[in-house]
Structure 1
């Protein structure tokens, strides 16, 4: 028995700690802040309200898209609109086409909780900027590290670094 004394002490300590944790969980479950109702006792509206405190709650009929599905859908719509514009535009003379400048329009969606590094990666992939460090420096200079606005940002034509940063920290 003396040879296994440390094992016996460990088992005893574990049982005591387990009992204390179980008691603390029991007290927490019956605390006045909790509704005290089981999930099957709540009506659907009350259950939705309780779950909305900690999670995003959507109705069953709401269609949720993955990022890949959303990108494919956007690319499909862009192609359809480009085809409509090409079909609606009358055929111009070749000389006049060289005079017409096309304005490149880029839309970037900044998701919640994206940091400056992730946003700079989006901008590089879209071709708006070529130097991440210059973007980070300009963002720091304008104090925009914590001011990046969530949502869609539209960039039209060639833009310098100051205009790109200003577009990202102000909501249009």
Structure 2
């Protein structure tokens, strides 16, 4: 028994490694073999989470309605409105932007564009899926939240993989610890 000890250890480790790999393969296969959901099932799940599913046609119709209701006219046919006509949506799928109702707020044209509201000194930055720490640091520097993006990257390197997708809201001039806490906060 003693003379075959190394062989037995190798054989046992091989069996354990093989079983582990087989379990990983089966788990991955189960995740990729999901059953396609019907529109009704998708609507039900969206409703449970407080969301609304729209087809492209319904979305475009709602966008057109919103744009037409937000552009006031002078009332007479043939006269032009005070505001320029709404621009068509861009190739990225971003909705047309009209004049903001509040003069102190700026409206983002892209999903990852920051929203700056000077009235209460709050700054919102959208953290998108797959954004790197460098991209976030550069955005924070552009917004004036951090002075040196390289210094912030060095401080925040441990949380680079822990940032959560969603809107990060900053008030005033936060410290690096406050910024890091907001980046890793679970967002809805």
Range class of TM-score, shorter chain? 0.3 to 0.5
TM-score (norm 2): 0.42
From the CA coordinates, give the structure whose radius of gyration is larger: 1
Please give the TM-score of this superposition, normalised by the length of structure 1: 0.46
Structure with the larger RCO, 1 or 2 (CA within 8 Å, 6+ apart): 1
Whichever structure has more helix as a proportion of its residues is 1
